[in-house]
Amino acid sequence: MLKDITIGQYFPGKSVVHRLDARCKLGLVFLFMVVLFSVQGVAAYSLLALFAVLVVLLSKISLRMIVKSLKSIVFMVFFVSILNLFYTQGTSLFPNVWLFHRITLEGVFMTISMIVRIVLLIVVTSMLSYTTSPIVLTDAIEYILNPFKKIGLPVHELAMMMTIAMRFIPTLIDETGKIIDAQKARGADFESGNLFKRVKALIPILVPLFVSAIRRADDLAIAMESRCYRGGEGRTRFHILKSRLQDKLILFGTLLFYGGVVCVSIFVVLP
């Protein structure tokens, strides 16, 4: 299960999505989330799903990686589905059948809508980390948040922390897998027993994991200090973010598409 978590991983490439300005990608992903949770209807969701498929194809990321990123949210999707199915008021589909009498037509539509939203959200946001290196992503976040410097917000430090956190997710997941394998080799059992025994069995995993995380953080701090890192003040960049004509055209076209999806959601009603 841990190997299915692909958050924070970066896959180098030369696709259109890889070459797109990171600032443009950040803005478009944020607007995608806004549109995704604002629209309703089969037509609007179908257009957004086609957009997500197009992004995946243009990025040339393996479909297997996309599926792996979705496998890690199966439990969350199941939990959300149960809540929407049994706790949404409306017309009952099974009036006289045990607990199933709570399942309503509105609940079914709500469940399908939430599943589609979650899947599309994971796919599109995953493409951001898959196609953008951590350094470029840090620069893009800092550039977008730069106006907040006027109110005293430590923009550079905030962007650096966000990127380091994303970067170390795969590392900690790999470290957790190694610790689990080592504990199993010593006879540890994580699968049998009741819930309390399973939680107690996690202690031999959590303690060395926290120790390893603190050690890695300390090593990173020493490495940054040895390279004379003193924050963002006066810092220069080897690669300066530049917007090309292609980036502007893609941004403009995608914004038009988002506007079209909103219009479809408002004016087009499908059964």
List the domain boundaries for the chain: 2-132+241-267
* Helix, coil or strand: residue 265: helix
- Quick one: average pLDDT of 82-97? 72
Task: Specify whether the CB–CB gap between 128 and 10 falls below 8 A.
Answer: no
List, for residues 154-207, the tens digit of each pLDDT value. Answer: 777 787 787 777 777 777 777 887 888 887 787 777 666 666 777 777 777 888
Task: Specify whether the CB–CB gap between 18 and 131 falls below 8 A.
Answer: yes
pLDDT of 136 reads: 83
Tokens (6 digits) for 195? 């819930």
The predicted model scores a pTM of 0.76
pLDDT of 99 reads: 64
> How far apart, in Å, are the Cα atoms of 176 and each of 18, 164, 183, 268?
30, 18, 11, 48
List, for residues 26-75, the tens digit of each pLDDT value. Answer: 999 999 999 998 888 888 999 999 999 999 999 888 887 787 777 777 77
Please tell me the chain's helix, strand, coil percentages from 3-state DSSP, rounded to the nearest 5.
Answer: 70, 0, 25
| Nearest residue to 24 (alpha-carbon basis) of 257, 248, 240, 261 | 248
